[in-house]
Amino acid sequence: MCGVFGSVNINQKNFAENALDSIKHRGPDHQDFIKDNNVILGMTRLSIIDLDTGNQPISNENEDIFLVCNGEIYNYLEIRNEIKDKVNFKTNSDVECILKLYELYSFDCVKKLRGMFSFAIYDAKKSLIFIARDRFGIKPLYYHFDKNSFIFASEIKSILEYSDLNPTVNLKKMFPHNYFWMNLETHVNEIKELEPATYGVLNTNNDLDFEVNKYWSLDINSTLKDEKEIIEKLEFFLDESCSMHLRSDVPINMLLSGGVDSNILAYFVKKNYDKKFNSYTFGNSAKGLNEFESSNFTANEIFKSNQNNILLNFDRIFSTFPKVMKHLEVSCAKNLESSLASYFLMEGVKKHDKSNKVVLCGEGADELFGGYKWFFSNKSRDMLSKEYSRHHKEGLYRLQLKRVDKMSMAHSIEARVPFLDHVFFEFASKIDVELRSKNNQIKYILRKTAEKFLPHDIAWMPKAQHTTGTGITKHISEWLGTISDKSINNLPLKNFPKAKEKIWNQSHSDENFEKYNAIVSNLFYFTFIQKKEINYLDDIFKF
């Protein structure tokens, strides 16, 4: 896993070095860039596959085409075997296959990749930069384009190192529960996000021209209704996905909760991984506010993993908020709050063993199998299909995947998501929407599959909320109640748009959530627009 960066027509001194330093947490093992006339292409690397020869940028044999990639190509062995008679490889890395596929198939190379990625290829012969993002947006990619210059990077903060860019806050998007409504915008008006399953081509000649194309789309086609057949195929595709996600030259770890998602993944990890792995669970030490009992049981009795329970420390919540915002780069209270728990979890994984670089997690199962009872219940088949489609195409990468990527990479950890293997996902999306959740039971068909391999109580355990279940939400809500309206009104950003729709699973009162949105929006403003150093959430009331 890495951080990528590139620019065209930017002459600022030390720009590449500063931009890469700002995302060094994404890849502390190696950092480099190339410069060719008006083009810079760079990356900072977290070495996971091909530790010895896999540094980037990687060039072709003629050294006129260069690649940087953030992510993993899980089918790289199959690709290398397929094209080995047509090309010569000079590394053993997974990402070099992208470069070779590009030489053979041009922009269509992206269609052959099975993995999570955001990459850039600079083709000096054709004077172009080709950037692409994986099908679900697991890996981020942002850009600034103003006809005279172009900058792209894995994180917004790299682009903000450009001193001639005067960022302005995108206030019109700062309403509660905004992640369905961002389009390609970010909360900085001058920076956009490359949409998942798209690629862009920039002409690097004098007149810059940038064009974006979609290369994949998911059709929710509920044609599969035979439970026995579905369960057999779910087992096959999930087994295959987990096996491919275990390809690594460093040890694999597992994020383990008490629920079905992570436990069924852990079963297939145990089946396909020939080493004992570490597993990690986050929670409150208080009884009823953690899933330690169930995760300890499955880890010790079924997976034989080295189980570690990471405890929430309430004393650090408000000093950690600014750190989470600096990494998340999103003004959304719901996202920031859930990211807080993820930050503590990933921090604990790294503290337990500084050599930890890879974790597997169950992200995507809720969106695929209907894990949100409050909006999947009491809907017609057509409404259900539209709700699934909306979460696949919008909510998933704007909320869940931003949290997973940014909080793991904040601690130089790569989070892998086997449920979001596109081959597995394409099959599962064909399952009848009324079978995914059935008889008022969320994730029914996944649980029916899991009960073949897991104890009944684990396969059918009720879903626990990532933050609400640990007490974080209650703690924050009590703090919000102490903040006066006068303090809120004294903040520079005001008059926020109203929420576009009801906020699901809302654990704060309406009054507190309005305060929460104002606080989070101003925290974003001070962090990225004013570039203030904030050590504690209360600091925003002092400026």
pLDDT for residue 155: 98
In this structure, the number of other CB atoms found within 10 A of the CB of residue 514 comes to: 19
Asked whether 294 and 281 are in contact (CB, 8 A), the reply is no
Superfamily of segment(s) 227-472: HUPs (3.40.50.620)
Judge residue 434's burial from the number of C-beta atoms within 10 Å of its C-beta, 0-12 exposed, 13-18 middle, 19 or more buried.
middle
Judge residue 319's burial from the number of C-beta atoms within 10 Å of its C-beta, 0-12 exposed, 13-18 middle, 19 or more buried.
middle
Place of tokens 């995302």: 23
pLDDT for residue 387: 82
* Contacts of residue 226, Cβ cutoff 8 Å, sequence gap at least 6: none
Average per-residue pLDDT in the chain? 93
Query: How confident is the model over 4-28, as a mean pLDDT?
Result: 97
Question: Using CA atoms, how far apart are residues 116 and 74, in angstroms rounded to an integer?
Answer: 8
pLDDT for residue 381: 81
Alpha helices in 47-191 (DSSP H): 76-83, 96-105, 156-159
CA angle in degrees (0–180, nearest 5) for 13-18-162: 65
Assigned token pair, 276: 């004992």
The dihedral through the CA atoms of 265, 333, 310, 288 has a sign that is negative
Strand order, beta sheet including 30-36: 30-36, 39-45, 2-8, 150-153, 142-145, 192-193
Q: Which CATH number fits domain 2-214: 3.40.50.2300, 3.60.20.10, 3.40.50.300, 3.30.2080.10?
A: 3.60.20.10
pLDDT tens per residue, range 133-180: 999 999 999 999 998 999 999 999 999 999 999 999 999 999 887 778
Phi, psi (5° rounding) for residue 136? -105, -5
Question: Using CA atoms, how far apart are residues 200 and 336, in angstroms rounded to an integer?
Answer: 29
pLDDT for residue 504: 61
pLDDT for residue 375: 63
Domain boundaries, the chain: 2-214, 227-472
pTM for the model = 0.96
Tell me the Cα Rg of the chain: 23
The percent of residues above 90 in pLDDT, for the chain, comes to 80
pLDDT tens per residue, range 335-383: 999 999 999 999 999 999 999 999 999 999 998 998 877 666 677 888 8
In this structure, the number of other CB atoms found within 10 A of the CB of residue 120 comes to: 25
